[in-house]
Amino acid sequence: MQRVFLLSCVALYLSPVSGCELFARFDMPCLFKQGDIMIGGIFPVSIKEIVGTYTFEKEPPAVKCAGFDLRAFRWTQVMIFAIEEINKEPALLPNITLGYRILNSCESPTNTLRAALTLASGAEEMDSTSACPPAVSALIAESGSSQSIAVAGTLGPFQVPIVSYFSTCACLSDRAKYPTFFRTIPSDYFQAKALAALVKRFGWQWIGTIQSDNAYGRNGILAFTEELRVSYNVYNAVYAIAHALHELVFCQPAGKPGGKPVMPCLNVSEIQPKQVTDHLQRVHFRNQFGDDVFFDDNGDPPASYDLINWQLRDGHVQHVTVGHFASAAKGDYKLSVQEERDSVEDRGKRFPHQCALISVQWERGELKLKENHPAALIVSPVPMEL
């Protein structure tokens, strides 16, 4: 018998008889809590995937991962916290309970795709007498741009909404390729625009950049990821989905606590992922911290950056906020620089056409400034591991 193999397929298989039956499973451990509406989550809790041997003669073995990323585990707890907080909020999705199913991607694009297909395929145990309901109404994933590309490219045609909390590649703003991808972290496009505005502001003619050899680095400039509030992005992602679901189910935006009771206009069992995607595109609300949460036509949030300058004071390096960049409507932006913070401003005036030339001595593990070149930023040799 001739067999045809597809490079990518979903695990959900519809039986010719009435009802729903799951014929395959990936057997992935998860954090799970049942709810009226389910939200999926994918986080790189493990550092790497242990790659096994695949003979293609039998079912692949279960995935094994190594290491533990405490920071990513904290993101999972933020998602759970936000969902439980929403379940206690009477003005947002009243009398409706959100549930979650969170899987580990092992920081691997292949395992991320495996997790996404698991979430899209439904629960492990299915009722063979009922129709197949959507497994998750929305998916929060992933941290890496390469992983998000794999998920968005596969689940996009099935209209499953995906909200990323840490993928910044500008390539993901392509609505033709990724029609259901959203994110609560600004695109690399805005990072580059912010740096370009800074260069123009000081009249610098030479700059240097360092990039990593992956989708993030090839399509943008490496950001200071330690400064990004990823947990806050996860929190906003959960609330964005909740507000979209509220408008879908109740046909109106969420009201204020203590307002008039609202009645649902749609049964939660009838929710389809495409409906959630459409409402996510239109969602606009102000969170409890006073920040506006919404998405533009490409699924990107408004960009806002602090300009942080490393300043050497009394022999100690301090991180000083010297300005702010914020995107505006129709591709415009606003750049503000604090004139009294003179480290950047004065050096930009004294050396308007110079740049720091840095060489790396890999053997000794030092960063060193090339001699005889005045620069706006002076870098002294410092011991460090490379």
DSSP secondary structure string for all residues of 30-46? EEEE--SEEEEEEE--S
Q: Where are the alpha helices (DSSP H) in 283-341?
A: none
What pLDDT is attached to residue 127? 54
Q: Which domains does the chain have, with CATH numbers?
A: 30-185+228-294 (3.40.50.2300), 304-369 (no CATH)
Residue 194 is given by DSSP the state: H
What pLDDT is attached to residue 211? 59
How many CB atoms are closer than 10 A to CB 21? 13
Q: How far is 167 from 149, CA to CA, in rounded Å? A: 9
Token output for 118 = 């698991």
What pLDDT is attached to residue 198? 79
What pLDDT is attached to residue 274? 93
Q: How far is 219 from 227, CA to CA, in rounded Å? A: 20
How many CB atoms are closer than 10 A to CB 17? 9
What pLDDT is attached to residue 226? 37
Parallel, antiparallel or unpaired: strands 30-33 and 98-104: antiparallel
pLDDT averaged over consecutive 10-residue blocks of the chain (386 residues)? 39 44 71 94 93 80 87 95 96 95 92 90 59 77 92 92 93 95 89 78 72 53 47 96 96 75 87 94 92 91 83 84 77 74 50 38 41 43 42
Token output for 323 = 């300005």
What pLDDT is attached to residue 329? 60
What pLDDT is attached to residue 134? 54
What pLDDT is attached to residue 379? 41
- Verdict on whether the full-model pTM lies above 0.75: no
Residues 97, 102, 103, CA angle at the centre, nearest 5°?
A: 160
